[in-house]
Amino acid sequence: MDYRQVEGAREFVARLDHGRDWRAQIEEFAADEGIDAAFFVGLGAVQDAEIYFYDQDEQEYYPERFDEPFEVASCTGNVSWLDGERFAHTHMVLSREDGSCVAGHLNEATTFAGEVYVREFDTDLVREHDETTDLDLWGGL
């Protein structure tokens, strides 16, 4: 396991804008505030979603598109650098009216209502290609 100790820096709470992409808003916020590394959690509701599932055998992401409203039962993620841009690595659990859920790596979702807590770290995190998993993971730890 690779690791490094980090210190917490600034903390934020934010209400996401209705009708805009959930993940993009977090990335824009991080850029506006100059955040190079952070952890976030959130909840709310979305009007639709595109969730990615990563097939570990094929080492390929497969998108699943859902054009229906969901409650955001859980949203967790982190902010780091990927290909020279801030990237909000976001996972969500989305619940339907009947209580069934879909979950995975969030690509995009139209925000109905969203509240997010963000804790910045006093460091930077840069994603690097990992040959074993074929994923972009935190490097330089």
At 10-29, the pLDDT tens digits run 999 999 999 999 999 999 99
Do the beta carbons of residue 12 and residue 115 sit within 8 Å?
no
Q: What percent of the chain has pLDDT over 70?
A: 100
Instruction: Residue 128: count other Cβ atoms within 10 Å of its Cβ.
Output: 12
pLDDT of residue 44: 98
pLDDT of residue 35: 96
Using DSSP's 3-state secondary structure scheme, residue 29 falls into helix
pLDDT of residue 73: 97
Do the beta carbons of residue 103 and residue 92 sit within 8 Å?
yes
How confident is the prediction for the chain on average, in pLDDT? 95
Using CA atoms in the order 13, 43, 105, 124, what is the torsion angle rounded to 10 degrees? 10
> Parallel, antiparallel, or unpaired for β 101-108 and 49-55?
antiparallel
Helix (H) or strand (E) holding 26, with range, is helix 22-33
Mean pLDDT of 97-124: 96
pLDDT confidence band for 135 (50 / 70 / 90)? confident
Task: Determine the Cα–Cα distance for residues 74 and 32; give it in Å rounded to an integer.
Answer: 25
Reading phi first (left if > 0) and then psi (alpha if -120 to 50, else beta), residue 136 is in beta
pLDDT of residue 6: 87
What residue ranges define each of the domains in the chain, with the CATH number in brackets? 13-97+105-128 (3.30.1330.80)
Higher-confidence residue of 48 and 3: namely 48
pLDDT at 57 over 90: yes
